[in-house]
A and B are shown apart, each in its own frame.
Chain A
Amino acid sequence: MPAPLFRPRQNDAHGELFNRILERVHQDLPEAVALAVSVHTKHDGMTVLATRGIGSGYLDAQAGGLGGPLAVAVDHQVPVVSLDLWSDDRWPDLTLEAVQSRLAVHEDLAAVEGAMAVPGVWRADETVVLSCLLSVPANATTVTTLIGYEQLITAALVTSAAEGDTGIADMLAVLQSRGAIEQAKGAIMGCLGCDAESAWSTLRRASHESNVKLRVLAVALVEHIGGAPAEQPGSSAPIQPDERAQKAARLLWAVLTHAPRPATTAQPATAEH
């Protein structure tokens, strides 16, 4: 059961909310020459929700195949920091010239040195990323400052996407289940010897095939493996998987633990980088 597509409405009160958050980030990071919030899905690519400073063409260039901190943050779900964006060996294709040649509108990127991207999974299959370009090299302090705003951005998305009580409950459930989803991914990675990406696909596929919501399946799986209720920090109404979810979790675990590698019904394990 695919989640209904969230199309953020721009230029309204919510867009204003993101702009105000970026304004605050900018106060904490005065060397920032660009700040942006974008949402990424596997199938629909990138939606830019808000920008501050130079435009968003550099984000399009990264998402469009040149790679870069944004792309790495989305793919690997970790904060990414670069001391010198244009000469970083993690994304050799992302050069100042390559980006500028793709820009529809001129952006003053020559002064850019450091770059950062901080991802947050705010619902099952969507990643929100807070991106930043600096006129100085990035360092541990600047990235920690940016990381500190991820929760605020995620909370703002929850507010912005929620339409009516169901929407809000739905979003809150996602936030509550984040820990369980990470744990379930970890368990699958350990079991299949695969990377986070494959573990994620496995969980998604099992959710789809059993018609059990991914976050509920994740909680059920964690409870099945651990033999105890899953930890759902900060949750006033923890997810309680029903019989169907428990059955799907048992089946998934049986497949993972008994099938020869690579599992036939699971995503094949991929090699470590």
Chain B
Amino acid sequence: MTQARFSVTRPTAGHPAVVAVSGDIDLANVDEFKDAMAKACNGSAALTVDLTGVSYCDSAAVRALFALAATTELSMIVRPSGHITTLLAISGLDRVADVVRTE
């Protein structure tokens, strides 16, 4: 029942690919999330993941993001505050990857 949508913007000169995620990410659909990021990243050196449309995510998503940060230069876009923003801060994901808060 967990639903998420992924929209990918292809990389352009000087800008990495962007995956915009909306909906919920948990154990039930984290594999889809990983697939979408892996495809968008496609071995390139950098990837941006826009999480501003994510309403809920749990440990499964945080683990996937840590794994991604280990293999590529990861930037995440989040809302200024809220569940996801808090999760990235308390886990320390914001210390091993870039986190950009929207205004």
Q: Confirm or deny: A92 has a beta carbon within 8 angstroms of a beta carbon on chain B.
A: no
Q: Is the CB of A186 within 8 A of B90?
A: no
A53 to B55: give the CA distance in the assembly, Å: 41
Query: What is the 8 Å Cβ interface bit string for chain B, positions 31-59, against chain A (1 contact, 0 not)?
Result: 00000000000000000000000011011
Query: What is the 8 Å Cβ interface bit string for chain B, positions 1-38, against chain A (1 contact, 0 not)?
Result: 11000000000000000000000101110000000000
- Spell out A's residues near B (CB within 8 Å): 69, 72, 76-83, 90, 119, 138-141, 143-144, 147, 178-179, 182-183, 185-186, 189-190, 195-196, 222, 225-226, 228, 230-231, 233, 272-273
**Inside 8 A of A183's CB, which chain B residues have their CB?**
1-2, 26-28
A72 to B88: give the CA distance in the assembly, Å: 12
A196 to B90: give the CA distance in the assembly, Å: 14
Name which of B67, B74, B86, B89 has the most chain A CB atoms within 10 A of its CB. Answer: B67
Q: Is the CB of B1 within 8 A of A81?
A: no
A182 to B63: give the CA distance in the assembly, Å: 15
Q: Is the CB of A90 within 8 A of B82?
A: no
Task: Give the size range of B's interface with the partner.
Answer: 20 to 34
- Spell out B's residues near A (CB within 8 Å): 1-2, 24, 26-28, 55-56, 58-60, 62-63, 66-67, 69-70, 74, 81-83, 86-87, 89-93, 95-97
A-B contact pairs, 16 of them (CB 8 A): A72-B90, A72-B91, A77-B59, A79-B91, A81-B93, A83-B92, A144-B70, A178-B27, A183-B2, A183-B26, A185-B58, A186-B24, A190-B55, A225-B1, A226-B1, A273-B90
Give the secondary structure class of B's interface.
helix
**Inside 8 A of A231's CB, which chain B residues have their CB?**
1, 28
Q: Is the CB of A81 within 8 A of B92?
A: yes
Which of these, A76, A140, A182, contacts B60 with CB under 8 Å? A182
Q: Is the CB of B95 within 8 A of A182?
A: no
A173 to B93: give the CA distance in the assembly, Å: 31
Q: Is the CB of B95 within 8 A of A83?
A: yes
Q: Is the CB of A80 within 8 A of B91?
A: yes
A183 to B59: give the CA distance in the assembly, Å: 12
Chain B residue at minimum C-beta to C-beta distance from A181: B27
A69 to B90: give the CA distance in the assembly, Å: 9
Q: Is the CB of A190 within 8 A of B92?
A: no
Q: Is the CB of A272 within 8 A of B81?
A: yes
Least Cβ–Cβ distance between B95 and chain A, in angstroms: 6
Least Cβ–Cβ distance between B89 and chain A, in angstroms: 8
Q: Is the CB of A78 within 8 A of B90?
A: yes
A43 to B89: give the CA distance in the assembly, Å: 27
Name which of B56, B59, B69, B81 has the most chain A CB atoms within 10 A of its CB. Answer: B59
